[in-house]
């Protein structure tokens, strides 16, 4: 996109005038943001139209990425970057007396996801557009995103996230692309004159699905793809149907709020409604679009790939079967063949409690026709596979079992590909969670390690680093992050290493300013910034990090005059509102922060900063300032992790268990550039097998650890009498499910090493460099190119 600065200024002022009928000095940053958003859309409009047209005329195979969460972050800067407009706009605004950095802060951050799963979906949309893949997102336009988090007296309090209050400048409502989604009622199969059966419906609850489209701008390539988010509304009332208030509310509720639970399946009817709502609307719109341009359904699988991001969109499988058979007269066999060719599924977790299942009664009541189809899939699976694999295995792996619809199994059976998100995770899927189906369909299983977009996580979040890199290795890494490895030539360039530490310092100053402003707390910028940002979950073991803080605290208290390398421990984490234990940990962190931060003996040497309301925008400030990246989940529990990749790309060294993609990060950067520790998956599984883990032995055998655990209940930490006891009991009475005590010693050994190593800044920055250099392997473009080649079979641009 080329536009001169002068042209931009004219356009911008015209936009202000049109929208607000006033002059610039009468507008707020929000007004300016909205005007700028409109203008950016106007500049990008031709690309969006051209992209859609080109896909049609070239008969490009479309990829539809279905996800119940998308966590895109603010879009202004991302769009400016990808349209190559940042400099023009920054200068133009400056000449008008405005500050782009102030305006960008006025944009609400759409929190339409919980964590890594939703953020991954957003990174992949950006990558698809940037690789010129005909990629579409399909999800839900939640009226309220993930709750806003406050701390009151150290406790998490949730407030609604009214992100649409001022409208959303990036979306277009497309009511003419609406469709009807049916729930409940009765369905029977009516014989037709031609001998086929056609389902008849009675007493269904019909919901209108209205799409809101958001343009997804590719990087410097004039491609703009579409993210389609569905909103539930009352159907157009041509026949004057009466809707009671309860019925209206029920419709309204479908897309009202994002389920705030990460890695836990609640099994509630409303959630199932959400899932069918956006999958049905999405599949209907895909089929409608296809039929507008093709005759018959036979080429459908050549033209369409549907990706199932975790099990939440799995109903695309029976829904496509339904449309193909009921509306487009396909036989079961043709419909099934097409469906399997089209569908692919990514699994994101092996946690038992996150694996979705639905009670048959609930499922059948809400989705009677879909249930018939699932039951038929189940019947045929059993009939076909039992002679080959035996009744036991088939019973264990069929879509229906124990009175439940088992979504992961349905997803595998109805897809041609199933992938995990890191090599270790994929192996565990094959060995453990999906072992039975792996025996039946070994050829379907493959790995696709997660990736992140460095456009957002380095170029936008860390401009000082990006400029420093440009100055040494040129700017081609911005297109092809693998080129970052050429940085290794500067490992021994003292000047460059000094620059890296200056960059880090500048980012720490920015974070320190935010902390001072939001928390009223001063943190020094020469301390080690030790960062753990991710959802609060027992398996992620924020508790282990707290133990390190307590260790450091006791060390200072015991020897107030002994040397101590200053540290700032930084947390960002939301707990699911119903996750009692996670909330207790939040209270603990805040209580420890309160204790440590106000102790005059400790002074500025040790600080604990728990920044509330962690999300994409906060991550963009915290991650560039990190020295240490805490990736300390119990081995086997974290499928991949993606903050580990973001922190790596910003030059943080990983303090990490051998879990998820940590394994690959450690390998890529070299173990000597990270701090690996802790039980391996094999060791964790050995404990499970033998049942011989005894948390108490670790407690008794380590006086330092015992003191820390005891401090949870002995009054050392004020204000946690209830929570301290709960956590204490989880460790000693309930035997420490996540092996915190077992990993304590090796974790702390590495923490001590970190304090020592940090004092040699040259050596430290050399290792930061090694991390940055190796991070290119985790670019989202590379990950998505592998999906395109191996799974979706669509062409894409090459990065080199």
Whether the Cβ atoms of residue 1 and residue 11 lie closer than 8 Å to each other: no
Query: Nearest approach, Cβ of 587 to ligand B1H (angstroms)?
Result: 23
Q: At what angle do helices 761-774 and 740-758 cross, to 10 degrees?
A: 120
| Residue 540 known to be catalytic | yes
- Report if residue 630 touches ligand B1H, rule: CB under 6 A: no
Q: Are the beta carbons of 484 and 673 closer than 8 angstroms?
A: no
Query: Nearest distance from residue 625's CB to ligand B1H, in Å?
Result: 22
- Choices 257-265, 285-293, 456-464, 596-604 (CB under 6 A): range interacting with ligand B1H: 257-265
**Which residue, 639 or 785, is less far from ligand B1H as judged by CB?**
639
Residue 345 touching ligand B1H (CB under 6 A): no
Distance between CA atoms of 374 and 372, rounded to whole angstroms? 6
Nearest to 34 by CA among 171, 230, 214: 171
Residue 303 or 644: which CB sits closer to ligand B1H? 644
Query: Is residue 211 part of the contact set for ligand B1H (CB under 6 A)?
Result: no
Nearer to ligand B1H, 347 or 771 (CB): 347
Cβ distance to ligand B1H smaller for residue 394 or 576: 576
224 binds ligand B1H (CB under 6 A): no
- Judged by beta carbon, residue 117 or residue 458, the one nearer ligand B1H is 117
Of the listed 540, 605, 637, 766, which one is catalytic?
Answer: 540
* DSSP-derived secondary structure letter, 674: S
DSSP letter at 96 equals: T
CB of residue 335 to ligand B1H, shortest distance in Å: 29
Length of the chain counted residue by residue: 800
Q: Confirm or reject binding of residue 638 to ligand B1H (CB under 6 A).
A: yes
**What is the size of the binding site for ligand B1H (CB under 6 A)?**
21
Q: How far apart are CA 193 and CA 212, in angstroms?
A: 40
Is 431 one of the catalytic residues? no
Return the number of the residue (553 or 792) whose C-beta is nearest ligand B1H: 792
A 10 A CB-CB count for 150 gives: 12
In the complex, the smallest distance separating the C-beta of residue 638 from ligand B1H, rounded to whole angstroms, is 5
Neighbouring-strand partners of residue 63: 135, 305
Q: Which of 41, 141, 312, 348 is catalytic?
A: 348
Active site residue 534: yes
Euclidean distance between CA atoms 30 and 612, whole angstroms: 23
Query: Nearer Cβ to ligand B1H, position 354 or 511?
Result: 354
* Cα(156)–Cα(793) distance, integer angstroms: 45
We find the least distance from the C-beta atom of residue 726 to ligand B1H, in angstroms, to be 24
Using CB under 6 A, which of 75, 354, 570, 727 touches ligand B1H?
A: 354
Known catalytic residue at 348: yes
Q: Which is nearer to ligand B1H, 109 or 261 (CB)?
A: 261
Query: Where does 21-109 have alpha helices with state H?
Result: 29-57, 76-82, 86-95, 100-105
261 touching ligand B1H, by CB under 6 A: yes
189 strand-pairing partners:
199
Task: Render the burial of 63-99: b for 16+ CB within 10 Å, e for the rest.
Answer: bbbbbbbbbbbbbbbbbbbbbebbebbbebbeeeebe
Q: Which is nearer to ligand B1H, 339 or 349 (CB)?
A: 349
User: Is 257:142 a contact under the CB 8 Å cutoff?
Assistant: yes
- Residue 185: is it exposed, middle or buried by C-beta count within 10 angstroms (0-12/13-18/19+)? middle
Q: Does 79 bind ligand B1H (CB under 6 A)?
A: no
Answer yes or no: are the C-beta atoms of 426 and 420 closer than 8 Å.
yes
Enumerate the β-bridge partners of residue 157: 150
User: Exposed, middle or buried, 273 (CB in 10 Å: 0-12/13-18/19+)?
Assistant: buried
The minimum distance between CB 637 and ligand B1H, in angstroms, equals 8
CB of 142 to ligand B1H, least distance (A): 12
Q: Which of 453, 642, 657, 716 is the catalytic position?
A: 642
Structure tokens at 487: 């940085």
Contact, 236 vs 148, CB < 8 A? no
For 672-701, give one letter per residue: b (16+ CB within 10 A) or e: ebbbbbbbbbebbbeeeeeeebebeebbee
Closest separation between CB of residue 174 and ligand B1H, Å?
Answer: 27
107 binds ligand B1H (CB under 6 A): no
Confirm if 732 and 699 have CB atoms less than 8 A apart.
Answer: yes
Which of 535, 583, 587, 767 is flagged as catalytic? Answer: 535
Specify the stretch interacting with ligand B1H by CB under 6 A; choose among 115-123, 142-150, 333-341, 624-632: 115-123
- 120 near ligand B1H, judged by CB under 6 A: yes
Q: Does residue 450 bind ligand B1H (CB under 6 A)?
A: yes
The angle at the Cα of 126, spanning 120 to 127, to the nearest 5 degrees, equals 85
Residue from the set 61, 148, 348, 541 that interacts with ligand B1H by CB under 6 A: 348
302 is catalytic: no
114, 149, 462, 636: which one contacts ligand B1H (CB under 6 A)? 114
Stretch that binds ligand B1H, among 57-65, 127-135, 262-270, 404-412 (CB under 6 A): 262-270
- For residue 63, what are the contacts with CB-CB under 8 A and spacing of at least 6? 128, 133, 134, 135, 136, 305, 306, 307, 788, 792, 794
Interface residue with ligand B1H among 259, 457, 553, 738 (CB under 6 A) is 259
Q: Which residues are within 8 A (CB) of 111 and not within 5 positions of it... i.e. 6 or more apart? A: 71, 145, 146, 161, 163, 258, 615, 616
Residue 259 or residue 764: which is nearer to ligand B1H going by CB? Answer: 259
Question: Residue 324 is encoded by which pair of tokens?
Answer: 């193909």
Q: Regarding beta strands 404-406 and 400-401, do their DSSP bridges make them parallel or antiparallel, or are they unpaired?
A: antiparallel
Distance CA 197, CA 493 (A): 75
The 3-state DSSP class for residue 498 equals helix
Q: Give the range of 238-246, 254-262, 427-435, 493-501 binding ligand B1H by CB under 6 A.
A: 254-262
Nearest to 9 by CA among 78, 88, 107: 88
For ligand B1H, the closer of residues 285 and 633 by Cβ is 633
Among 138, 642, 662, 730, binds ligand B1H (CB under 6 A): 642
Catalytic annotation on 642?
A: yes
CA 23, chain centre distance (Å): 40
Minimum separation from the CB atom of position 267 to ligand B1H (A): 10
Quick one: which of 640, 750, 765, 775 contacts ligand B1H (CB under 6 A)? 640
Starting at the earlier edge strand, list the strands of the sheet with 567-572.
606-610, 567-572, 528-533, 628-631, 653-656, 675-676
**Which among 55-63, 114-122, 141-149, 614-622 is the span making contact with ligand B1H, rule CB under 6 A?**
114-122
Distance CA 528, CA 548 (A): 14
* DSSP annotation of 351: -
Question: In the stretch 655-684, what mask flags binding to ligand B1H with x, by CB under 6 A?
Answer: -----x------------------------
147 binding ligand B1H? (CB under 6 A): no
Residue among 168, 255, 263, 673 that touches ligand B1H (CB under 6 A): 263
Please identify, using beta-carbon distances, which residue of 357 and 640 lies nearer to ligand B1H.
640
Q: Which stretch binds ligand B1H (CB under 6 A): 52-60, 317-325, 483-491, 637-645?
A: 637-645
What character string, x for contact with ligand B1H (CB under 6 A) and - otherwise, covers 264-283? -x------------------
Residues that bind ligand B1H (CB under 6 A): 114, 116-117, 120, 259, 261-263, 265, 310, 348-349, 354, 421, 450, 638-642, 660
Which residues are annotated as catalytic?
348, 534-535, 540, 642, 646
């Amino acid at each position: 996109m080329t536009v001169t600065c002068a042209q931009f200024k004219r356009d911008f002022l015209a936009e202000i005038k049109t929208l607000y009928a006033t002059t610039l000095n009468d507008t707020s940053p929000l007004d300016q943001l909205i005007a700028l958003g409109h203008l950016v859309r106007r500049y990008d409009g031709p690309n969006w139209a051209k992209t859609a047209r080109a896909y049609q005329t070239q008969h490009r195979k479309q990829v539809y990425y279905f996800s119940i969460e998308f966590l895109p972050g603010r879009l202004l800067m991302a769009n400016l970057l990808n349209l190559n407009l940042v400099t023009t706009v920054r200068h133009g605004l400056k000449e008008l007396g405005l500050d782009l950095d102030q305006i960008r802060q006025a944009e609400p951050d759409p929190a339409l996801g919980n964590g890594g799963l939703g953020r991954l979906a957003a990174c992949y949309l950006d990558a698809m557009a940037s690789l010129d893949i005909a990629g579409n997102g399909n999800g839900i336009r939640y009226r309220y995103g993930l709750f806003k988090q406050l701390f009151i007296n150290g406790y998490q309090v949730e407030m609604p996230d009214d992100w649409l209050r001022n409208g959303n400048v990036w979306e277009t409502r497309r009511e003419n692309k609406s469709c009807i989604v049916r729930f409940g009622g009765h369905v029977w199969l009516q014989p037709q004159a031609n001998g086929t059966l056609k389902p008849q419906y009675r007493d269904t609850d019909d919901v209108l699905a209205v799409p809101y489209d958001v343009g997804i701008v590719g990087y410097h390539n004039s491609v703009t793809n579409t993210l389609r988010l569905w909103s539930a509304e009352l159907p157009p009332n041509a026949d004057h149907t009466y809707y009671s208030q309860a019925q209206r509310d029920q419709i309204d509720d479908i897309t009202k709020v994002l389920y705030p639970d990460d890695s836990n399946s609640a099994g509630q009817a409303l959630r199932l409604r959400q899932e069918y709502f956006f999958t049905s609307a999405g599949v209907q719109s895909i089929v409608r679009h296809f039929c507008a341009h093709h005759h018959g359904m036979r080429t459908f699988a050549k033209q369409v790939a549907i990706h199932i991001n975790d099990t939440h969109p799995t109903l695309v499988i029976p829904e496509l079967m339904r449309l193909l058979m009921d509306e487009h007269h396909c036989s079961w066999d043709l419909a099934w063949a097409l469906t399997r060719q089209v569908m692919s599924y990514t699994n994101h977790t092996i946690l038992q409690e996150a694996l979705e299942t639905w009670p048959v009664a609930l499922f059948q009541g809400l989705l009677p026709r879909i249930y018939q189809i699932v039951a038929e899939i189940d019947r045929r699976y059993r009939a076909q596979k039992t002679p080959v694999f035996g009744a036991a295995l088939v019973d264990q792996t069929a879509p229906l079992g124990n009175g439940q619809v088992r979504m992961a199994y349905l997803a595998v059976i109805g897809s041609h590909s199933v992938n995990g998100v890191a090599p270790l995770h994929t192996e565990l899927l094959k060995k453990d969670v999906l072992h039975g189906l792996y025996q039946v369909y070994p050829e379907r299983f493959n790995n696709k390690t997660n990736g992140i977009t460095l456009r957002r996580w380095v170029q936008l979040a860390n401009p000082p680093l990006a400029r420093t890199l440009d100055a040494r290795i040129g700017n081609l890494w911005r297109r092809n992050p693998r080129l970052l490895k050429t940085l290794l030539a500067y490992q021994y360039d003292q000047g460059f290493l000094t620059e890296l530490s200056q960059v880090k310092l500048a980012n720490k100053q920015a974070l320190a300013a935010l902390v001072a402003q939001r928390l009223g707390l001063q943190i020094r910028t020469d301390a080690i910034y030790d960062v753990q940002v991710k959802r609060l979950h027992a398996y992620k073991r924020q508790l282990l990090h707290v133990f390190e803080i307590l260790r450091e605290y006791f060390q200072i208290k015991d020897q107030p005059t002994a040397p101590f390398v200053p540290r700032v421990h930084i947390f960002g984490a939301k707990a699911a509102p119903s996750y009692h234990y996670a909330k207790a940990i939040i209270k603990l962190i805040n209580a420890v922060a309160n204790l440590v931060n106000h102790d005059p003996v400790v002074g500025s040497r040790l600080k604990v900063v728990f920044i509330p309301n962690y999300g994409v925008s906060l991550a963009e400030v915290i991650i560039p300032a990190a020295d240490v990246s805490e990736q300390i989940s119990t081995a086997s529990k974290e499928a991949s992790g993606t903050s580990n990749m973001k922190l790596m790309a910003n030059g943080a060294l990983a303090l990490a268990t051998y879990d998820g993609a940590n394994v690959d990060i450690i390998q890529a950067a070299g173990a000597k550039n990270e701090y690996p520790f802790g039980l391996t998956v094999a060791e964790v599984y050995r404990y499970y097998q033998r049942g011989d883990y005894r948390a108490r032995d670790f407690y008794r055998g380590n006086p330092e650890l015992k003191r820390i655990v005891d401090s949870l209940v002995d009054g050392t930490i004020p204000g946690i009498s209830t929570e301290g006891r709960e956590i204490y009991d989880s460790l000693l009475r309930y035997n420490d499910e996540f092996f915190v005590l077992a990993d304590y010693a090796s974790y702390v050994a590495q923490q001590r090493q970190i304090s020592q190593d940090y004092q040699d800044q040259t050596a430290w920055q050399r290792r930061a460099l090694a991390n940055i250099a190796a991070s290119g392997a985790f670019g989202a473009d590379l990950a998505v190119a592998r999906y395109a080649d191996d799974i979706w079979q669509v062409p894409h641009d090459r990065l080199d």
